[in-house]
Structure formats: structure tokens, C-alpha cells
Amino acid sequence: MSSAMSVLVVDDSRLTRMIITKIISEHFTDWNISHAENAATALQLVKSKKFDFISLDHNMPDQTGFEILGELIESQPDAKIGVFTANVQKALRKRFEEQGAKFYGKPVTEDMILEFIQQEA
Amino acid sequence: MNNCTAVLSEVVFNNTHCGLLVVDADFNVISANQWFLSAASLEIEKIERQSIFELFSFAKPQGLKRCIHDACRFGLSSIMSNSLHPKLFPLYSRFAKNGDVMDQLCTIKSIKHEGTRLCLLQIQDVTDSSTRERFLSATTETLTMFSLAVQHSPSSVVITDAKGVIEYVNPKFTEISGYLSSEAKGQSYFKLFSGNDEGVFQRNVWQLLECGQEWVGERCLKRQSGDKYWAKEHIYPILSNECIVTHFVAMQDDITQFKNITRKVSYQATHDDLTGLLNRQAFENILRDTVDRIGDNEQHVLCFLDIDQFKIVNDTCGHVAGDELLRQLAVMFSGLFVNGETLARLGGDEFAVVLYGHSLATAKVICENLIERVADFRFRWEENVFGQGISVGMTEVTSHTTSSIEAIKQADSACYAAKDAGRNRVHIYQDAEDILVQRQGDTYWATRINEALENNRLVLYAQPIVPLQSDRKSSYEILVRMLVSDGGIIPPGLFLPAGERFNLSHRIDKWVIDATIDWMNKNTNEIGHIDHISINLSGISLGNEALLSHIISVIESSSIEPGKLAFEITETAAIANLTHANHFISTLREYGCKFALDDFGSGLSSFAYLKHLKVDMLKIDGMFVKDMLNDPIDEAMVRSINDVGHVIGMETIAEFVEDDAICQRLKEIGVDYGQGYGLGKPVPIDQILVDSVAIA
Amino acid sequence: MSESIMSDDYCDTLCELFNIGMGRAAASLSEMIDEEVLLSVPSLEAVSYRDAMEKLHEQSPDPIDVVEQYFDGDFSGSAFLFFGDQSSLELVRRILGESYASTQLGELEQEALKEVSNIILNACFGCIAEVLDCEIESGVPVLLRGNVGDILDIERMHIGKEPLVLTLSMSFSLPDNLIQGQVSLLMTSESIRKLIRELEQYTMLYT
């Protein structure tokens, strides 16, 4: 991977945001990583900036990840979206995957993240 | 672990009354106890080191995998219930009769052995408790259903103990009775709902209930508020296996509304719409009951009341007026019979009353009083005023009365007799009339009239009409009687009504006319002192052209002066057939015959008709005459009729002149003639020749 | 007081662990009933025993159904799953697919309720154990019914004089009915301190 990519991490848990950030930045020091702690902030950010990867939580206080998924895809059609959620029910996984998002169950691990950001290769 | 403990552990392991299975993190069997092996019909050698997921097939293996994983990895214990994992392992109990897989409760625990975490599965046979639980839950469900049904029953439901003390009430009970559950519990049901006749109810109902029988009935009960309500009540005992009463169930339905409706409906079915009195059917039912239940020493009197002048009101003023008259009379009767007498309107202008506990003598006093009250009564309709009269027929009801139908026949015929005897009077049915009255059916009389006409069994009687003012001649009214084979004489009241109904009136009239003219013809010389002979004509004859022609031809072929012949028609008949009447009257008057209006005054509106009816004489209704000395209104009536008659140029005749005092008063008033028992009774026609000589 | 016991960071971490646990529990449940279980975002509070009791009393003045599971090992204490109102009945009825309007849990229903609670609690513990890499040993679940005060009796639980209470509130609902549940962990002060230390180490890995 040649150029620096930009990543948006959407998760209400500070811990998860930190874990994802840490894993990515350990491997790609020059990547630009933005955070959103809820759905509203995420929607704002995708309007102002182009992202290559978006990690998305499902259960959040204002809106669920699935609810904003359509809007994210619309404004960031080229971004890869990966869903990292504790809610690991099959029905939910199926719904996300139908929309073209990758689905990972929490807790977040290094393998998951690497798989996610390297998938296009 | 020393050897002894290890051996003991193994003994315990294999003698535990539940299945013990030890697996490792890879689900491989490490060990299994005897209980498990025999329930699974396996030997330890065949399963050791093999995965349980290969040995057994599970409906949902994920759950068990997770539990074993949790135990081996984190040391967590789990429980797998029979409801969520029915028949987890294919284990069979030695005691199971039907060969079903046992119900199991599986507890999964983490154990440590030589530094490795293993998983201990403990499997209990819960077939018995599951079965019991399922049975319990089914029973509970049924009970819940029943209890819900009672809870929401549309009937009030009360359960009491064997002494009638309330133990349970449903919400409907509170709704109907007003007693809260807490207020009702502990109270005696039968005291709370003692009803009106506590003693009787308690005695009768307890007797039934204590014998294990149920009681169903309707009672008027009190709500907590004191309001009354009608309840349909069903009380039944609950018996134990030993047939001892353990509880009572009392159900109530509030039928107050229903009762009101039924009462209304039954009121309508048993009462006369117009007057509100009982109707004929209800009256007959009551009378039948009375006759059926009468005791040996009991005595009642059945009276039939017939309104004499009803038809006139109805004919001259219309049905609305007639209905009003009946209503007013009904009010008057109701006011007079307030001591439990049964009063009814049988239909038309017929009323009936049963006077309980009366002899004929006392009943007669009551009815005479009634007649007087009616005579005093004036019916006003628009500008018209009508006087009224009634005829009363009475008969005894005693244990000798054979049936209510018999009693009704007797009272009916007595009422006819009262009318015949001149109306406005009481006639008591007497045994002497028995034979005649028993054969009083209309057909019988119709046959008898035909026979009498064919065999000349009718005879003429005559009653004098006496001049009250000087220098006038007497006249006679012709009356008809029937002779019977044994020589008895039957008054017209018994056969004329039947004659009317069988259209025989004009034949009777014709016979009377023929016989009278024949008699006059024979006695032309002997009747010179008589002013005229008066013949009654029925209403139906007035429209009979043939009869009219016949009369003319008979007169023409005789040698009598037409002026000696007069006809009497009743006011009612004349008004009812006004056109025919006028034709009839004018035709015969041209021949010189005279006409009199009979019973005049019974409908006072008839003054108006006088202009149209060209008659020569007015016969003042005896009803006014009879009481004129005591009743100033009656006297005024007599005066008025007399005055009006004179103004129009008619002569006046007073009927029912019963004594000298009346006669004297009539003379003073200026009435031209009088007729009645006080002046002369009806006699066989031939006698008048002798009598008139005497009078002359 | 709650603020001082545990920092927001540790709260967040613990919360996320519970969240993951509940997510797994929901997955298990949804497999059992073939329906998706909806989860709310969890909230966590760490308070003193006294404050926790007051709050629980306020929430549930009437007797409630509680499933208790003790745990031991690196941390010790008791975990409780409280069901709001008729939630326990609702849950069992929904899972067992029974329609009758019973107002009480029978033996079969009690076992089922214990199993369901066990799945939820184990998922939470499992997640903590997995992520923090520590040893826990838990007992089998017990169903208790009574007043909050009797259930959370310190004497009964031998849990020290001033235990701390971690209260995780989250609700899960089934398609037709909302089922309110709340997980509370009653831990000895010592265990809490140990847990905080573990969280500290874990969090430090990522900061």
C-alpha cells in the first residue's frame, strides 16, 4: 500500500476507538485516523472529508450503525466499511453483509483489523 | 490423593444416582459413571477419548458446546434445562415403561484435574418431576380457566360453606348486590338475602338443599342500598364423595328489567287496551280458577253489566266518543269496586264483575247502587250530553256451579232478561228459568221462532197508553209473547234478540202487523173508543220495501181507519237507518198512520234529528221518568223532551209510570200520555175490549 | 462517590466488555427462539452498597425474580440478573412459547429462566475473563424471589462489610414485548480494586 489512507472510526466506546486506532497506526504510521463517538458526528464527518475505510459500531446511543449505513455509503461510495459490533446475531450480520459491509464480532483483534484494511489487495 | 480416597471416590462416582460425564475442552469423553453408561447402554471402553458430538446427536449442539467451552476456558458453570433442551442425551431409565428418552436437567461445571480444566456434566432424571409439572400446569390451566369463567361469569356466583356462610363471591355479585367481597365473606347467605318471606323460604329451601337437591326460583331481594331487585336464583349443594354437603353454590341473575318487561307484556295480554280493565280472557281465567277452587261454604256472585245506551253514543258521535264513554264508565266502576272484586271489560259495551263472598241479596244491593250511580252519570261530548243506563245480570257462583262457562251463560242470560224487562235493572238468574235458559242457545230460539211463526204460537198483548190531560182517548201498545207447548208464556227478551241475530225480526214484525190489523178488522166496532193501536217495528224492518208494500196492501184490503194504526220505532233504530226510516215513515204517514219515537232521550243528541224525522209522538225514555221525583236532572229531562216535542207539534208519552205520584207530576208538567205498571200492565189483547169498557 | 471509585475510562472499558458479553448472550438467545433480540446501549454505574440498595428499592418495591450466580477466582462476588416487573414471566413464556396466562413460574419455567439468565451472565463473565485474561470460577445459577433487601443480604453472601456494586443496565426486547433486565455485580472492595488493576493494564495496551 503506497499512499497514506484516511480512516474513520465510529464507536461509542472510547476503548474500542483507541484499540482500532492503535492497531492501525502501529502498522501504518502515516495514515490519517478520525474518530466519531456517535452516529451524528460520523454523518457530519463524512460530508466534509473523503475516507478510504470506515469502521462502524452498531449499538450506539443516538442511532444504530445499520440506520446510518445507507447514508455513509452514499456520501463515501468508495470507502470500505467494516462493522465491528458486540451484537453478533446472525440476522444482523446478514443485513450488514447484504449492504456490502464486512462484519466482525467484538472484541476487536489485530487480525480483524488487518484483514479489514488489507482486503482490497 | 491417597489410594483409599481414590477408591472411595470411584465407588461414589459409580454409585451416584445421577449421570456424571467428564469431557475435556475438545469435547472428548474422559470418564462416565455407571449410571450414565447404563442409561446410555454404552460401555466406557467404547466411548473414552471420543467426542460426545460424534457419540451422540444433539438437536442444538451449539448450546452444549458453548457451555463446555465456558467451563473449560473460563471456569463458568452452566445449566441446561429440560424445557430448552428437551431430552439432551439419549438416556433411558430402567423404570420407564414406555421406552421414552428421560427428561433431563444438565448442570455443567468446571473441574480441575492435574492442572487441566475439564468439564463435568451432571445429568439428573427429571422425568417424574417434569411429568408432575406438566400435569400440574395442565391442571392449573384448567383451574385457571374455570376460575376465570366464574370470575367473569355474567351471573352472580357465591360459594358458601355447608352452613351457608359465604366464602367466595365473584365481581358480578358485587355489581348486582352492592356488597363488596370483604363485606359479604363470613356472612350467612340466607340472612343477607332473606327476601320477603324469610320463614317460608328458609324452611322450604333448606329442606331441599339439605337433602342434596337444588333449588331454582325467582325472589325479590334487597341490594345493600336497600333497593329491591328481582333475582333468578339457583342454589345447589356440592357433595363430597361420601355424599355429604360441603358447600353451596348460589347463582343469581338480575331479572328486574326482564321482569318489568314481562309484567308489561303480560299486562298487555291480560288487560283491555281501552279501559285498562282485565280483558275477557283474563277474566275467564280468573273465574275458572275461582270456580275450580271454590270451597263448600264459599259463595260469590258473578254480574254481567251491559251499557244500555252505548250504541247511541257510538252511532251519533262516532267511535271516539263511544270509546271515551267506555273509559269514563270503567273509571266509575273501578272506583266502586275497590275491595278486591274482579272487574273486566268483556268486549263492546259489556262489563263483568265477580263479587267475592257475597250472597245474591247483598250483591243485588251493590248492583242497584251501581245502577243509580250510572243513572246519575252524564256523558258529555262536544255540545251533547247523554244519560246512561245499565242492565245487570247476576248469578251465584258456589260449589254447585258446574263450570265457569256455565256461570257466564247464566249471567249473560240474566243480563238479557234485565234488558228485556225494561233495562236499567238487575235481573237475578233463577233456577226456575233453568230449563228455558239451558236451551237458550240462539239456534234453539231461532228454531222456536220459526216454529212459533208457522204454528201461530205468538200471541198479542197490549198495554194501555193513558191520557194524562183531559178530553183525550186511550191508546194501546202491542207487545208480543211466545206460547210454549206446556202453556207457559215466554217474554220477548228471551227470543227477540235471537230473532234479531237470525234476521227473523221482520218476520216477527210482519206477523205482529198482520195479527194486529186482523184483530182490529175483526173488532172495528169495539175499538171506537181507542185513539190508536201502536205496533213496534224493528230497525231492520224499516229498510224492508216488501214489508212496507205488504203493510199498505193489508191496510187497503182492510176496513180499518189508517189513523187508528201507529208504529213505534226506537230512537236508536231510526237514527241508525235514517234514510230508510224517513221513507218508511213518510210513506205510511201519507196513508194516515201515526209514528212514535220510542225510548226517546236515551241519546239526547236526537233532538237534532227530530227536525228530520217527521213523527207524531215522542215516548220519553222510562229511565228519566222512573226517578224523576228524586232526581231533578231526570225531571228536567222529562220537561225538556216534553217542551221540545210540543214545540215541534208532537204529542208526548211518558214510559215507566209506576205510581200515582209520578203520574201526578207528569200531569203538572203537561205530558200528554203515560204508560207503565202504575197505569196498566200488558194484558192479552182481547182483554182490552173488556177493560176499555171498564175504563170508559 | 461513584465517580471516585472508577474513572470514566475504566467504566467505558468495562461497559464495552459487558456490551460484548450481552451481544453474545443475545446471539445465543436469538438462536434459541429463532428471532432477533434487540439490545439497548448499556450504561454502567459503580456505587456503594448502600446507594445501590436505595436505588434498587426505589426501582422494585415489590418482590422480584432474581437469578444469582456466585463467582470466585481472580475476582469474587455475586452477579445478579434482575428482571423488571413481569419480565421474567414474559421472557420464559416467549422462549417456551407458552400462551396460558399463568401468574407464577412453575418448576419447568424456573429451570428455563435459570438457563436463560445463566447464558446472559456467563456471556458477560466469559467476555471479561477472555479480554482481561483472568481466571473466574462460577457457581450454578440460583433463582431467588423476594424483596431486594433480602436478596442482596450481605450476611448471606459473605462478601465483606462494604462491598461495591457494579450495576449494568441494559434492556433487551423480543419482537412483541420489552423485557427489562439489569445485571448487577456485587464484589468485595478487594476484588474491585483487583478488577480496576486489570482494566488499567488492559487499557494501557491501547493508549
Minimum Cα–Cα distance from B127: chain C residue: C108
Can you read off the three cell numbers belonging to residue B314?
257510538
Cβ-based contacts of A86 with chain C (< 8 Å): 16, 19-24
Q: What is the pLDDT of residue A31?
A: 92
Mean pLDDT of B101-122: 92
Q: Are B234 and B213 in contact (CB under 8 A)?
A: no
Mean pLDDT of A81-88: 92
pLDDT classification of B377: cutoffs 50, 70, 90: confident
Task: Write the residue in C112, C119, C137 that is nearest to B110 by C-beta.
Answer: C137
Please give the grid coordinates belonging to residue B275: 279501559
Per-residue pLDDT of B416-437, as tens digits, reads: 878 776 677 888 887 655 545 5
Give the pLDDT of residue A97.
Answer: 93
Instruction: Report how far residue B103's alpha carbon sits from residue B105's, in angstroms, rounded to the nearest whole number.
Output: 7
Does residue B22 contact residue B119 with C-beta atoms inside 8 Å? yes
Burial pattern B379-414, b for ≥16 Cβ within 10 A else e, equals bebeebebbbbbbbbbbbbbeebeebeebbbbbbbb
Count Cα atoms within 13 angstroms, Cβ side, for B426: 20
Cell numbers placing B134: 406438566
Say whether residue A92 is in contact with chain C using an 8 A CB cutoff. Answer: yes
Looking at residue B135, what is its pLDDT? 83
Which CATH number is B271-438's, of 3.40.50.720, 3.30.70.380, 3.90.1150.10, 3.30.70.270? 3.30.70.270
Q: Would you call A55 an interface residue with chain C, using a CB distance cutoff of 8 Å?
A: no
Grid coordinates given for C148: 431486594
Place of cell 243528541: B605
B244-265 confidence digits (pLDDT tens): 889 999 999 998 888 888 777 7
Is B567's pLDDT higher than 90? Answer: yes
Question: What confidence score (pLDDT) does residue B197 get?
Answer: 60
Q: What is the mean pLDDT of residues C62-89?
A: 83
Predicted confidence at residue C98, as pLDDT, reads 62
pLDDT at B538 exceeding the cut of 60: yes
**Of C21, C24, C206, which is closest to A19 when you measure between CB atoms?**
C206
Say whether residue A25 is in contact with chain C using an 8 A CB cutoff. no
Environment class of C163 (CB within 10 Å of its CB; exposed 0-12, middle 13-18, buried 19+)? buried
- In chain C, the N- to C-terminal Cα span, in Å, equals 26
Cβ contact (<8 Å) for C37 and A90? no
Query: How do residues B587-631 score in pLDDT, each as one tens digit?
Result: 999 989 999 988 887 655 557 677 778 889 999 988 889 888 988
Q: Which phi and psi (to 5°) does residue B58 adopt?
A: -110, 145
- Whether C74 has its CB under 8 Å from any CB of chain B: the answer is no
Question: Which single residue is written with the C-alpha cell 183531559?
Answer: B470
Q: Do B83 and C129 touch (CB under 8 A)?
A: no
Pairing verdict, β A53-56 and A32-36: unpaired
Mean pLDDT of C139-164: 79
Q: Which ipTM value was assigned to this complex?
A: 0.87
Cα(B650)–Cα(B238) distance, integer angstroms: 91
Q: Is the pLDDT of residue C32 over 70?
A: yes
A and B touching (3 or more beta-carbon pairs closer than 8 Å): no
What confidence score (pLDDT) does residue B395 get? Answer: 92
Instruction: Kindly report the nearest CA distance between residue A65 and chain C, in angstroms.
Output: 12
Q: Which helix (H) or strand (E) covers residue B676, if one does? A: none
Decide if pLDDT at B440 tops 90: no
- Low-confidence winner among B306-310, B407-411, B431-435 (lowest mean pLDDT): B431-435
C2-200: CATH superfamily = CheC-like (3.40.1550.10)
Q: What are phi and psi of C150, to 5 degrees?
A: -70, -35
Any idea what the Cα angle at residue B146 is, between residues B143 and B150, rounded to 5°?
A: 135
- Cα A104 from Cα A112, distance rounded (Å): 7
What are the cell numbers at B218? 325467582
- At A2 the three-state DSSP class reads coil
Answer with the residue of higher pLDDT: B315 or C26. Answer: C26
State the Cα–Cα distance between residues B108 and A5, nearest whole angstrom: 49
Question: Who contacts B593 (Cβ-Cβ below 8 Å, separation ≥6)?
Answer: B555, B562, B563, B565, B566, B567
- H/E stretch holding B244: none
Can you give the pLDDT at residue B622? 87
pLDDT higher than 90, residue C37: no
Q: Do chains B and C touch (3 or more CB pairs under 8 A)?
A: yes
Residue C14 contacts A where some CB pair is shorter than 8 Å: no
Q: What is the mean pLDDT of residues B667-671?
A: 92
pLDDT of residue B692: 53
Per the prediction, chain B carries an average pLDDT of 86
The pLDDT of residue B100 is above 60: yes
Return residue ranges of chain B for CATH 3.30.450.20: 3-131, 151-260
Give bridge partners of residue B234 from the DSSP assignment. B216, B251
Residue spans of the domains in chain A: they are: 6-118
**Which pLDDT does position C72 carry in this prediction?**
86
Q: What is the pLDDT of residues C192-207, one digit of tens each?
A: 888 888 888 887 777 6
Q: B272-286, pLDDT tens digit by residue?
A: 888 889 999 889 989
Q: Residue A52 has what pLDDT? A: 93
User: In CATH, what class is B459-477+503-695?
Assistant: alpha beta
Cβ contacts (< 8 Å) between C137 and chain B: which residues?
A: 75-77, 110
Each residue's pLDDT tens digit, A88-118? 888 899 999 999 899 999 888 899 999 998 8
For the ranges B375-379, B591-595, C122-126, C161-165, the one whose mean pLDDT is highest: B591-595
Which chain A residues are Cβ-neighbours of C27 within 8 angstroms? 87-90
pLDDT of residue C3: 43
Cα–Cα distance for residue pair B552/B549, rounded to 1 Å: 5
Torsion angle (degrees, nearest 10) of CA B398, B400, B406, B408 = -10
The alpha carbon of residue B260 and the mean position of all alpha carbons in its chain are separated, in whole angstroms, by 14
Report the pLDDT averaged over residues C2-13: 70
Closest to A56 measured CA to CA, from A68, A74, A47: A68
C13/A59 Cβ within 8 A: no
Q: Is residue C40 within 8 angstroms of chain A, CB to CB?
A: yes
Q: Give the pLDDT mean for B222-236.
A: 89
> Tens digits of per-residue pLDDT, B16-58?
999 999 999 999 999 999 999 999 999 999 999 999 999 999 9
Most confident of B680-684, C31-35, C51-55: B680-684
B contact chains, 3+ CB pairs < 8 A? C
Average pLDDT over residues B498-515: 83
In contact, A52 and A3? CB cutoff 8 Å: no
B578-590 helix and B545-557 helix, angle to the nearest 10 degrees:
10
3-state secondary structure C172-192: EECCCCEEEEEEEEEECHHHH
Residue B694: which pLDDT band, with cuts at 50, 70 and 90?
very low
CA torsion through residues B198, B202, B203, B204, sign: positive
Residues belonging to chain C = 207
Contact between A18 and C206 (Cβ < 8 Å): yes
- Give the pLDDT of residue B104: 92
Nearest to C108 among B76, B79, B83 (CB): B83
- Of B226-235, B355-364, B478-487, the poorest mean pLDDT is in B478-487
Over pLDDT 70: what percentage of chain C? 87
Q: What is the pLDDT of residue C159?
A: 67
Question: Which has more confidence, B291 or A119?
Answer: B291
pLDDT digits (tens, 9 = 90+) for B153-169: 899 999 999 888 999 99
DSSP C37: P
User: With respect to CATH, is domain A6-118 assigned 3.40.50.2300?
Assistant: yes
Dihedral of CA atoms A73, A78, A80, A83 in degrees, nearest 10, equals -10
d(CA A93, CA C26): 13
Contacts of A119 (CB under 8 A, 6+ apart): A80, A102
- Which residue is associated with the grid cell 461513584? C2
Which residue is associated with the grid cell 348486582? Answer: B176
CATH 3.20.20.450 domain residues, chain B? 459-477+503-695
CATH 3.30.70.270 segments of chain B: 271-438
Question: Mind listing the pLDDT tens digit for each residue in A15-59?
Answer: 899 999 999 998 888 999 999 999 999 999 999 999 999 999 998
Cα of B115 to nearest chain C Cα, Å? 13
Residue B412 in contact with residue B391, Cβ under 8 Å? no
Give residue B696's pLDDT: 36
pLDDT for residue B693 is more than 50: no
| Calpha distance B234→B211 (Å, rounded) | 16
Alpha carbon dihedral B174, B179, B181, B184, in 10-degree steps, equals -130
> Average pLDDT of B438-447?
63
Q: What is the pLDDT of residue A121?
A: 42
Record: fold of B3-131: Beta-Lactamase (3.30.450)
Q: What is the pLDDT of residue B1?
A: 55
**Contact across the interface for C30 and A16, Cβ inside 8 Å:** no
Is residue B573 very low, low, confident or very high in pLDDT (cuts 50, 70, 90)?
Answer: confident
Stretch B119-131: mean pLDDT: 90
Q: Does A47 touch chain C (CB under 8 A)?
A: no
Total-model pTM: 0.52
pLDDT score recorded for residue C167 = 80
Class of the B151-260 domain? alpha beta
Higher-pLDDT residue of B435 and C149 is C149
Q: How far apart are CA B667 and CA B658, in angstroms?
A: 14
Mean pLDDT across B50-74: 91
Residue B52 CB partners (closer than 8 Å, separation 6+):
B21, B23, B27, B28, B29, B64
